[in-house]
Chain A
Amino acid sequence: MIDLIVNGKQSTVDAHTIAELIAHYGLTGKPIVVEADGEIVDRALWKQAELRQNMKLELVHFVGGG
């Protein structure tokens, strides 16, 4: 279990990598972009990208807008 701040909220999840975090939220295969501690993490690296205690993550996507 690891403590993270995901989309602005404190969360404790059972995940070791970004890919596992994405799977935890049911977002695998969805068109989202990940920023970890202010750096964008390319999708190709999600399986290797290790989560760190208190890491700040932003999971974002395209929504309707003008």
Chain B
Amino acid sequence: MVTDHWSVGGRALSSRLFIGTGLFPNPYVQREAIRASGAEVLTFAIRRVNLEATEDDSILLHLQGESFAYLPNTSGASTAGEAVRIARLARASGLSDWVKVEISANERTLLPDPIETLKATEILVKEGFTVLPYTSDDPILCKRLEEAGAAAVMPGAAPIGTGLGLLNPYNIGLIVEEAKVPIIVDAGLGSAADVAQAMELGVSGVLMNTPIAKAKDPVRMAAAMRLAIEAGRLSYLAGRVPRKRYASASSGLEAFKLK
């Protein structure tokens, strides 16, 4: 495996896969899938403790003994105010001052509210958080989030959990071209091919949960995603051939063709 270095918010990373921790069938599969993925950054949600079942293990106990960066999200928030509140609670855990701003405007699509996301990003950057907003794939919005101080910007490929892949690769390409911070495609990816496609567009990384956790074999899929990121990144760096309208033969030498 090629060792690849990049950084987000001042933290050096060698994996370009951020992995979500929800939806796994059990903690054992979750741990093995995370290991197979090579991910160094894990996302979490913040929720009320279930007071009827406090003897249940905290998800964090299953992940002890390894050094991950924790990226709590603000899922559940529908306004900037709610997102800021959740971010502060997450930081108060002492585990991370990173936050994925996730503010949903619509329960059916879970698409991020662009206006509230920008507001929350501005506030949280000023409060000293390392902010990674999950946003729509609008190039201007992504630039505004960068200007507001986001450490990385995370446009969606498609709505959360849909597995539809990159619905607007053109926009993702534009976003990458204009960005001075890492661009991480977050949400809606479904397969290893989607991940390779995203990497070939030049994104710095991908964030995914459903395509690994809900695959028939999550551990195997995590390994596939790791390879897809590597292949896609190498392809991007190698410089692909242009698309052509008509054929262009691989062997010329007209005079020597057998006739």
Contacts and interface: CB of A to CB of B under 8 A. Distances in A.
A18 B89 CA distance: 16
Interface residues of B, number: 35
Interface in A22-38: 25-27, 30-33, 35
Interface stretch (B114-122, B206-214, B223-231): B206-214
B58 A31 contact: yes
A43 B75 CA distance: 24
Interface residues of A, number: 23
Interface in B191-215: 207-210
Given A66-B20, A66-B22, A66-B43, A40 B92 contact: yes
A65 B51 contact: no
Contact of B45 (A8, A30, A64): A64
Given A25-B54, A62-B44, A63-B46, A40 B88 contact: yes
Interface of B: 20-24, 30, 43-49, 51, 54-55, 58-60, 70, 72-73, 75, 88-90, 92-93, 95, 160, 187, 207-210
Interface of A: 6-9, 25-27, 30-33, 35, 40, 42, 58-66
Nearest to B134: A66
B95 A31 contact: yes
B49 A7 contact: yes
Contacts of A32: 49
A8 B48 contact: yes
Contact of B73 (A9, A31, A65): A65
B58 A30 contact: yes
A31 B49 CA distance: 10
A60 B46 contact: yes
B93 A31 contact: yes
B58 A61 contact: yes
Contacts of A59: 48-49, 51
Contacts of A8: 48
B165 to A, nearest CB: 16
A24 to B, nearest CB: 10
Contacts of B89: 33, 35, 40, 58, 60
A30 B47 CA distance: 14
